[in-house]
Amino acid sequence: MENFILSFQELGIGDVHKVGGKNASLGEMYQKLNPLGINIPNGFAVSAEGYRYFVSENKLGTFIQNELSQLDVKEFSNLQKISTAIKKRILEGEMPLILAKQIADSYRKLCELEGRELDVAVRSSATAEDLPGASFAGLHDSFLNISGEEKLNETVQRCFASLYNARAIKYRHDKGFDSAEIALSVGVQMMVRSDLACSGVTFSIDPASGFENIVLITGCWGLGENIVQGAVIPDEFLVFKPSLEKKKRAIVSKKMGSKTKTMIYSDRGGVQNLDTEPEKQKSWVLSEDEVEILARWAIQIEQHYHMPMDIEWAKDGNSGKLFIVQARPETVHADRDQFVMKEFKLLEKGKLLTTGYAIGNGITSGKVKILDSPAEADQLKEGEILLTEITNPDWDPVMKKAVAIITTKGGRTSHAAIVAREMGALAIVGAETALDTLRNGDVITLDTSAGKIGNVYQGELKWKVSEHNFKGINLPETKPMFILTDPEKAFDLSFFPNQGVGLMRMEFVINNTIRVHPMALVHFDQLKNEEEKAQIDAICSAYSDKKEYFIDSLSQAVATIAAAFYPKDVILRMSDFKTNEYANLLGGRQFEPKEENPMLGFRGASRYGHDRYREGFRLECLAVKRVREDMGLENVKVMIPFCRTPEEGRSVIKLMREFGLKQGEKGLEIYVMAEIPSNVILAEEFVKIFDGFSIGSNDLTQLTLGVDRDSEVLSELFDENNPAVKWMIAEVIRKVKSAGKKIGLCGQAPSDNPKFAEFLIGLGIDSISFNPDSFIKGIEQMNRAEKQKLDREN
């Protein structure tokens, strides 16, 4: 008698033809990774031969082939009808006694091993499933909380029928698989009681960019189906692999999701979805130690399979143990050409209507079509933007018609996100306000090019697309570096040929992420504006110490950029707001003087030791210390802006040491901006204090020529090519290089003007930093300038 059951102990990755990709992977992990300390729930698989035996005994083969032969492969108009007919016949079939007994006996044996009646998860695993390039994500059915032999056999038969779900038939056709060659295995796995705890999805790379040094972990309360279906916005953690290897604090970023639903087992069998208690919505689903355990497991699984992996995890509420319940190859970046990148940029400003998690990189526009279910697919016209609450695999054919997708629920590992990536479509998921702000027929522009957050704007805006091909591009000897503001773009930009970040502007993070004046956090109890006080209290609700909100938020932003470019230098400029800009932060007006000329006022180094800001600067330093020392990202250097005198420079260095940032310790370098004529005139004094210089060409031009760079009337006089400005630049480069220190320049001129790039390189400047949109052009100018210099020397 043929045995149709294979235990996980018998299975390995070479058994895909026997039990499908999902079950082969579970067996492989149970055998090879369980001994390494990765918890994998035990179970068994009903083989593909068991499915074929069922089909043969019920004489279904010819019927299925006849039905499929009638499929309309152009419009798929009869897809649902054919799917329903095949599934009905399979469900009406009889489970052969031999197969039913083997399933029951294996279930009983599993129960005996555990010493109790088990609830099990019953999962479909097609023989072409979970292969690189084809995820088959969610196309076939899985069932949770199944117990008893009779119920188990009935559920296995339901899995068999799901091989002919309409979405599965369509997917196989699109991917070029022959349905006659594919069979379905069924995995039966001990249930982890995550309904009493939490669960989620882990990617061993960043799924949005393909950045390989990050592990992404998402989690929600209860069963993980809510994440897969996109029914909730989960907690999200980014873990940096090198920090983990160095046993440093490895979570570089975390974002709390709303987690509004909790899926639990139902007393009647199956599951039910309940509203999450408010206090649990505001609590992290995992501790930092648990996040790091899952990240380590993800790395081990990735190393075992020699490819990026998409992993499902669950925490048992009874034992408190974490488990891996599924792992499959990450399919989106398998065939990505990392040398080619498209860059999108909006050319117009529009009214922002809603935001969510950005999936894909691009911009598109179209009319909104709101659908409540895939049954309304005929209402969606080609080129329209689909808006719905959540999607499941039944939506796949509908999603392919849409020019873009918006869901009000879900995170970056939801079904909508995974399928959109696989299709190469643009999507914004978790746009919670979309149904409040968008109506059927609205013309909108959807922008997912600005990082992790996607934006929806009113109307049809203009944009441009640039394609960059890095293949064969040579880096100049002079270091090309980035000017960066937004951490959300860091992973994507890391793929550009570069030598790191020459200027990270802290102000962007404070203004866009933190939004609160640091001194308002230090002196929260003294705030006079009750409305702002309430806003700040709400923003900091997850922190018992409001100062920690600033330190944590800033350190995450800096760490994200530092991780993206590790081990290359990331030079972080300490805050350089003017008083009028600081005053616009929440709580800011109470702590800022009103100045007639803020550009030349209380800014930069002058603020740091002053009573008005000293404690705010301390928070900045503590954030940097956390990134460098706790997280191990020692590639972060710091830079002091608008330092008017050497005495001021020495004072700041001393203050930083007091706040835990000691120059030279663990390679800490402290740079200064060369942007004031005094920095040039007294450069011999400044080089004794600082480790390096960065020429701020905008302020240096302004202060050399006495021209307000924001003045429209004087705009023609503002010119970095003015002989006086070029003399200043040449002089500071000469003095700094003579002292053996490093000097770079941050500014637009070298990318716009080949002669300016030639001028800088001729002087022996060490680095030039560019904004991302002019980076490739800047490298081209640098290469051209270096060649001309070489030609002259020869």
- What is the domain-level CATH number for residue 413? 3.50.30.10
pLDDT score, position 333:
63
Contact of 457 with 744, CB cutoff 8 Å: no
pLDDT score, position 176:
82
Closest C-alpha to 772, from 573, 574, 561: 561
Mean pLDDT of 739-755: 86
**Cα–Cα distance, 753 to 644 (Å, whole number):** 29
Question: Is residue 243 over pLDDT 90?
Answer: yes
Mean pLDDT of 395-403: 83
Closest C-alpha to 310, from 177, 134, 143: 134
**Cα–Cα distance, 456 to 435 (Å, whole number):** 12
Question: Is residue 130 over pLDDT 50?
Answer: no
**Cα–Cα distance, 439 to 416 (Å, whole number):** 21
Question: Are 655 and 545 part of one and the same domain?
Answer: yes
* 127 vs 620, more confident: 620
* 519 vs 331, more confident: 519
Question: Are 438 and 565 part of one and the same domain?
Answer: no
Domain that holds residue 707: 674-794
Contact of 646 with 605, CB cutoff 8 Å: no
Question: Are 559 and 420 part of one and the same domain?
Answer: no
Contact of 558 with 572, CB cutoff 8 Å: yes
Contact of 427 with 415, CB cutoff 8 Å: no
Q: Is residue 334 assigned to a domain?
A: no
* 31 vs 135, more confident: 31
Q: Is residue 33 assigned to a domain?
A: yes
pLDDT score, position 131:
47
Contact of 360 with 427, CB cutoff 8 Å: yes
Closest C-alpha to 580, from 568, 567, 592: 592
Contact of 558 with 624, CB cutoff 8 Å: yes
Please, which residues have CB within 8 angstroms of residue 540's CB and are 6 or more apart in sequence? 516, 521, 546, 549
Question: Is residue 12 over pLDDT 60?
Answer: yes
Contact of 407 with 125, CB cutoff 8 Å: no
Instruction: List pLDDT tens digits, range 428-454.
Output: 999 999 999 999 999 999 999 877 899
Q: Which residue has the tokens 């309430």?
A: 534
Residue that is last in its domain, among 269, 301, 329: 329
Mean pLDDT of 539-551: 95
Question: Are 441 and 487 part of one and the same domain?
Answer: no
Question: Are 663 and 687 part of one and the same domain?
Answer: no
Q: Is residue 300 assigned to a domain?
A: yes
Q: Is residue 311 assigned to a domain?
A: yes
pLDDT score, position 114:
85
Closest C-alpha to 208, from 60, 414, 20: 414
CA-based end-to-end distance of the chain: 85
Contact of 500 with 562, CB cutoff 8 Å: no
pLDDT score, position 1:
63
Q: Which residue has the tokens 């989106």?
A: 332
Question: Are 135 and 206 part of one and the same domain?
Answer: no
Question: Are 19 and 133 part of one and the same domain?
Answer: yes
Question: Is residue 394 over pLDDT 80?
Answer: no
CATH number at residue 277: 3.30.470.20
Question: Are 203 and 172 part of one and the same domain?
Answer: no
Q: Which residue has the tokens 């992996």?
A: 309
CATH number at residue 574: 3.20.20.60
Length of the chain: 794
Bridge-based pairing state of the strands 636-640 and 670-674? parallel
**Cα–Cα distance, 704 to 729 (Å, whole number):** 11
Instruction: List pLDDT tens digits, range 204-231.
Output: 999 888 999 999 999 999 999 899 888 8
Contact of 525 with 547, CB cutoff 8 Å: no
pLDDT score, position 338:
65
DSSP string covering 488-527: GGHHHHTTSS---EEEEEHHHHIIIII-B-HHHHHTGGG-
Question: Are 462 and 505 part of one and the same domain?
Answer: no
In the annotation, is 198 catalytic?
Answer: no
pLDDT score, position 137:
58
Q: Is residue 751 assigned to a domain?
A: yes
Beta strands (DSSP E) in 96-234 are 120-126, 142-146, 184-190, 198-203, 214-221
Determine how many CB atoms are found less than 10 A away from the CB of residue 507: 17
Question: Are 449 and 506 part of one and the same domain?
Answer: no
Instruction: List pLDDT tens digits, range 483-504.
Output: 998 898 899 899 999 999 999 9
Q: Which ranges of 597-676 does DSSP label H, i.e. alpha helix?
A: 605-608, 614-625, 646-658
Contact of 509 with 554, CB cutoff 8 Å: yes
pTM of the model: 0.87
Confidence of residue 334 (pLDDT cuts 50, 70, 90): low
**Cα–Cα distance, 78 to 62 (Å, whole number):** 19
Residue that is last in its domain, among 146, 174, 191: 191
Question: Is residue 569 over pLDDT 70?
Answer: yes
Phi/psi at 352 (5° precision): -75, 125
Residue that is last in its domain, among 467, 486, 503: 467
pLDDT score, position 268:
75
pLDDT score, position 752:
75
Domain count, the chain: 5
Q: Which residue has the tokens 């003015």?
A: 722
Q: Is residue 92 assigned to a domain?
A: yes
Question: Is residue 3 over pLDDT 90?
Answer: yes
Confidence of residue 335 (pLDDT cuts 50, 70, 90): low
Contact of 607 with 642, CB cutoff 8 Å: no
Instruction: List pLDDT tens digits, range 133-180.
Output: 445 556 889 898 899 999 999 999 999 999 999 888 988 888 888 877
Instruction: List pLDDT tens digits, range 497-541.
Output: 999 999 999 999 999 999 999 999 999 999 999 999 999 999 999
Bridge-based pairing state of the strands 235-240 and 251-255? antiparallel
Q: Is residue 784 assigned to a domain?
A: yes
Instruction: Tell me the Cα Rg of the chain.
Output: 30
In the annotation, is 333 catalytic?
Answer: no
Mean pLDDT of 98-114: 95
Please, which residues have CB within 8 angstroms of residue 750's CB and are 6 or more apart in sequence? 756, 757, 760, 768, 770, 778, 781, 782
Q: Which of 46-50, 561-565, 754-758 has the lowest mean pLDDT?
A: 754-758
Contact of 718 with 709, CB cutoff 8 Å: yes
Question: Is residue 200 over pLDDT 90?
Answer: yes
Question: Are 490 and 624 part of one and the same domain?
Answer: yes
Cα atoms in the 13 Å half-sphere on the side-chain side of 136: 30
Instruction: List pLDDT tens digits, range 63-98.
Output: 999 999 999 988 888 999 999 999 999 999 999 999
Q: What is the 3-state secondary structure (H, E, C) of 439-502?
A: CCCCEEEEECCCCCEEEEEECCCCEEEEEEECCCCCCCCCEEEEEECCHHHHHHHCCCCCCCEE
Given the residues 333, 415, 517, 540, the one annotated as active site: 415
Question: Are 360 and 280 part of one and the same domain?
Answer: no
Closest C-alpha to 642, from 599, 685, 688, 589: 599
Please, which residues have CB within 8 angstroms of residue 176's CB and are 6 or more apart in sequence? none
The structure tokens listed for 437 are 């702000």
Bridge-based pairing state of the strands 670-674 and 142-146? unpaired
Q: Is residue 472 assigned to a domain?
A: no
Given the residues 198, 220, 621, 746, the one annotated as active site: 746
